[in-house]
């Protein structure tokens, strides 16, 4: 599979935090969910990908040079809010080499966004929709979302998810989707990249993650009988042990984990 980006041993050091030796590929034509707790390093990684921060070590191949082929949508509006959509569209046409005015206005109409109102009157959902109108109108091939859907109601988020699925219908389009709303990733993501305390915990296909692991529930005595080699992570509860194992290794009652469950087991669980 062709890669949109390859990250090799990326390291970025700060006085109180280090993004440590990250290596992974972003396959073209897919949606990659980027998950992790607050402060895990997701935004630091995105800043390095966008060349807003220079890594201390490592490489990004190919380096992003043509920013016409990239769209970045953060969690807040980046457009001047004293302007209207009509005024902004004139600027977009001069900024982007391959701007499609007709495509832009079709999407503005699709989302029923007002042409003549200043952006400061828009709701957050309207501002996010406008950002997608821009992203889809200048031939971007890589779309990076940094908590862009946080705070949106479920109906608007569903519209955004449909847009992402529409975007990757072209095989050379790729989405890196950083979000705390893991249920959205369960609907649309092809791959999941999980970062915890600056380190990569795993990157795998979503389907493999959901099918490979289970959380087994057992007593302390039953837990002690389990071989250490079978245990991925364990959390001690008041009346039972929650043990993350591969499904084929399950010996007791288990549940299929959600992405949130996997994050909890990796971040709070222990190895034996």
Q: What is the CATH number of domain 3-197?
A: 3.40.50.300
pTM of this prediction? 0.92
Interatomic CA distance for residues 272 and 75, integer angstroms:
39
Backbone angles phi, psi at 6, to 5 degrees: -125, 130
Q: In 10 A of CB 258, how many CB atoms?
A: 14
For residues 106-129, average pLDDT: 93
Q: How many helices (H) and strands (E) does the chain have?
A: 9, 13
Average pLDDT over residues 247-271: 93
User: What is d(CA 205, CA 116) in angstroms, rounded to the nearest whole number?
Assistant: 44
DSSP state of 190: S
Residue 140: how many CB atoms within 10 A of its CB?
21
What's the token pair of residue 66? 């043509």
Nearest to 176 by CA among 27, 59, 65, 44: 27
Side by side, which strands form the sheet with 213-218? Answer: 233-236, 241-246, 213-218, 254-255
Is a pLDDT exceeding 90 seen at residue 1? Answer: no
pLDDT at 207: 93
Task: For the chain, give the mean pLDDT.
Answer: 93
Q: How much is the average pLDDT of 25-34?
A: 96
What residue segments make up the domains of the chain, in order of their start? 3-197, 211-268
């Amino acid at each position: 599979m062709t890669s949109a980006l390859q990250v090799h041993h990326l390291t970025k050091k700060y006085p109180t935090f280090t993004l440590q030796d990250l290596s992974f590929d972003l396959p073209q034509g897919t949606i990659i969910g980027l998950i992790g707790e607050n402060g895990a390093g997701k935004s630091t990684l995105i800043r390095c990908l966008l060349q807003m921060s220079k890594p201390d070590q490592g490489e990004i191949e190919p380096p992003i040079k043509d920013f016409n082929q990239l769209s970045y949508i953060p969690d807040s509006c980046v457009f001047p809010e004293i302007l209207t959509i009509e005024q902004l569209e004139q600027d977009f046409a001069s900024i982007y080499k391959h701007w499609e005015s007709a495509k832009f206005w079709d999407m503005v109409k699709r989302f029923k966004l007002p042409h003549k109102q200043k952006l400061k009157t828009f709701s957050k959902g309207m501002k996010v929709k406008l950002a997608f109108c821009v992203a889809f109108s200048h031939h971007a091939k890589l779309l990076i979302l940094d908590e862009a859907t946080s705070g949106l109601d479920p109906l608007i988020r569903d519209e955004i998810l449909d847009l992402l699925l529409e975007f990757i219908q072209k095989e050379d389009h790729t989405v890196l989707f950083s979000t705390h709303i893991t249920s959205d990733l369960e609907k649309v993501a092809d791959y999941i990249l999980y970062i915890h305390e600056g380190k990569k915990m795993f990157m795998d296909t979503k389907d493999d993650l959901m099918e490979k692991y289970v959380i087994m529930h057992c007593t302390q005595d039953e837990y002690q009988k389990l071989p250490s080699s079978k245990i991925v992570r364990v959390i001690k509860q008041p009346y039972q042990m929650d043990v993350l194992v591969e499904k084929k290794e399950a010996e007791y009652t288990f549940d299929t984990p959600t992405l949130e469950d996997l994050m909890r087991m990796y971040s709070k669980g222990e190895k034996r």
